[in-house]
Amino acid sequence: MTKLVTAALALALTVTVAGCSPAADPAGTTGTGGAGVSSGASVPSDPMSSGTVPDDGSSATAGVTSGASSTPVPVDQSTPETAMSSWLGAMVAGDGETVCALMAAKGRAIPSIPGAAKACGTSIAPTLEQIKQLGAVFTGLTIDGATVTGDAATFERATAVPPIAATVVKNFKAVRIGGKWYVTQG
């Protein structure tokens, strides 16, 4: 049963990320370099209790919606693990606005690409409705041990609570853009 849920969630997340990626401008890139580092992070055990923080750092909620009924989730982009935890929390909460705000494609943050955030929110709405049903599986989500090299991070060796999250996140990467971490497809 766990393998089936993991496979279904990984597939849904991959489709979601792919649905947002075509809107990206291929001109943007991000640098990498530096030594590998590991760090850990967690999100509150109730990831659906607080507002989101848009890319510009203000406390207002951005204007993209998924079309799904959702509750905004807390966002922390200070480390790859917290960005990934925030992203997964937004997924299972059905918060398309936050999901898109935490993503990057082709080296650019989705919110910085004209029209991409709206297209992303629209394209993932049906998938988020299905993923919301798995929300209880991710209660108490924590991710630890991303491998960071410069402005890029992988989750291949990361651990997570619940363990199913580690299986899902190993297929994704994170990239640091403007001092914030964003989830990207591996």
Residue 19 has pLDDT above 80, yes or no: no
Rg of the Cα trace of the chain? 15
Residue 24 has pLDDT above 70, yes or no: no
**Mean pLDDT on 21-25:** 42
CB 80 within 8 A of CB 157: no
Residues with Cβ within 8 Å of residue 20, at least 6 apart in sequence: 100, 103, 105, 110, 116, 119, 120, 123, 124
Question: Which residues are 105's β-sheet partners?
Answer: 108
Average pLDDT in the chain: 72
CA–CA distance, 98 with 130 (Å, rounded to integer)? 17
> What is the model's pTM?
0.68
Residue 158 has pLDDT above 90, yes or no: yes
